[in-house]
Structure formats: C-alpha cells, structure tokens
Amino acid sequence: MGADHVVDFTKEDPVSAILKITKGRGVDVAIEAFGKQQTFEWALRSIRPGGTLSSLGVYSEDLRIPLDAFAAGLGDHRIVTTLCPGGKERMRRLMAAVASGRVDTGALVTHRVGLDDFETAYDLFSHQRDGVQSRDPAVSGE
C-alpha cells in the first residue's frame, strides 16, 4: 500500500526490526491503534528518546505501562491518549484523501454495509466472522 518499510510481527520481532531500520535510534512517533497491551508495548519500545506514542486503540483490559520500556522516566517519552488527535480537521483531510482516490483502501475492506446495519457490521468485526480477520496472533491463531 505504498509503505517504505513493512514489518510483519509474525515473522520478526517488530521492535528489533524498527530499531534496525532506524539504525538504533527509534521512531519519532509511533501510533498504536489496535488496542492491545502487546502492541502498546511494542510501540512504546520503538520510539526514540524524546519520542511520542500516540495511543488511539480502544483497550478492553487495563493498560499497563512497563517501567523499563518507559525508560524509567529518563527517556523523555510522551504518551498521547486521544481518539483523534487534530479532531475534525484531521478527519476531514483523511476523508478527502480517500474520496480523491489517492489512497487505495481496497485491501482494507472486507464488507460494505449501510448505517442501518451498524450492529451487524460491529458483530462481524468483534467476532471476526465471514472473512473479517484480526492480525492479533492471540485472536487469529497465528
């Protein structure tokens, strides 16, 4: 989908791969949008000193911040927890990019449903049915 680098967590440790790509520096910003403890920790361990973790995931369990990954407070890390940083303007730009055809979302779409079928769509998503898959190894059985 146009990424410069792709890291497949099923084939390699994502933190090690990211640190290799960044020559040990880490990334300026990591976005965690999956809502799992493991992906939160991977994102936190991938940011550089002074870096930012933007946590957008919706967590179904209590989230823990591992002290070692947080550099014991010495790494000057920042964790931002907001569902949509930049709010309406960012969402407007995202929707405009998708509407313009500049972003091919085809690989992300498994179903199309109307707003009247929201409950059905959410049920498909939450139970991973009818071709809807999770990339979470605990859910997908990888």
Domains of the chain, with CATH numbers? Answer: 1-85 (3.40.50.720), 87-131 (no CATH)
- Judge if pTM exceeds 0.85: no
CB 60 within 8 A of CB 35: yes
- Extract the residue ranges of the chain whose pLDDT is less than 70: 1, 69-75, 82-87, 133-142
pLDDT at 27: 94
pLDDT at 21: 96
Strands laid side by side in the 78-81 sheet: 27-32, 47-55, 78-81
User: N- to C-terminal Cα distance for the chain?
Assistant: 23
CB 28 within 8 A of CB 47: yes
pLDDT at 74: 64
